[in-house]
Amino acid sequence: MSAVIQNLASFVGLMLMALFVENAVFTRGLGVSRLVNLVTNSSVDGVIFCSLLTLVLVISAPLGFFANQFIMQQQFWFRDYIRPLILVVCAIIAFFIVLFGIFLVRPANTKNIVAVLPMATFNGAVLGPMLVTATQNYTFVQTMGFALGSGLGYGLAVLIVSEGQRRMNNRSVPATFKGLPINLLYIGILALAIYALTGHRVAI
């Protein structure tokens, strides 16, 4: 019973860390270009995008975990070099699993979901957390917690940046800064604020 509670605590702890402290966008800068494009492009549904990204992460994370375990047991001198490629393959497998699930369930907006799926899969916010969990030698439970937290954290980042963009769309913002410049400044300031929560200080 204590082992179950310990694993559950580890899962929740890593999930919350990935969601807030180690946020894929604000702390690690993963998927920033896609996020900026997402909040400025009204044709892409942010909820669908983030849901697909989280689903792909949760499916690809265990695949990446077992693949990394297998690679690390080998004595190949190039094993560290092929690990990123193997993780990309895991993401591709997750892509086809989700795609198969979409065609199996056939939701009302299937066409829109299928159009967004490649953007949600081949994204630094998917491959980055997988690489972090592999290099940090997380356990399976920690890997799943970090993957789920990273997906939810990306969704949180989309909500925050979308709300920020809505509030900054006013006359007070100089014309030179409107659009991409003000969005990048906003993300940068948020990143500094969240990065400070981890205890880091600016070197003087």
3-state DSSP call for residue 114?
Answer: helix
Q: Could you tell me the pTM of the whole model? A: 0.90
Q: What is the pLDDT of residues 85-100, one digit of tens each?
A: 999 999 999 999 999 9
40, part of any domain: yes
| Full domain range(s) for residue 26 | 2-198
The answer to whether residue 100 sits within a structural domain is: yes
The region of weakest confidence among 28-32, 53-57, 131-135, 175-179 is 175-179
Report the domain count for the chain.
1
pLDDT for residue 199: 64
Neighbours of 140 (CB within 10 A): 15
Instruction: Report the distance separating Cα 68 and Cα 79, nearest Å.
Output: 9
Residue 171 forms part of a structural domain: yes
Other beta carbons less than 10 A from residue 139's beta carbon: 14
In a domain, 159, yes or no: yes
The amino acid that residue 97 corresponds to is I
Residue 200 has pLDDT above 80, yes or no: no
Tell me the CB-side half-sphere exposure of residue 176, using CA atoms within 13 A.
0
Residue 21 belongs to some domain of the structure: yes
Calculate mean pLDDT across residues 186-198: 82
The verdict on residue 203 lying in a domain is no
Count of all residues that appear for the chain in the document: 204
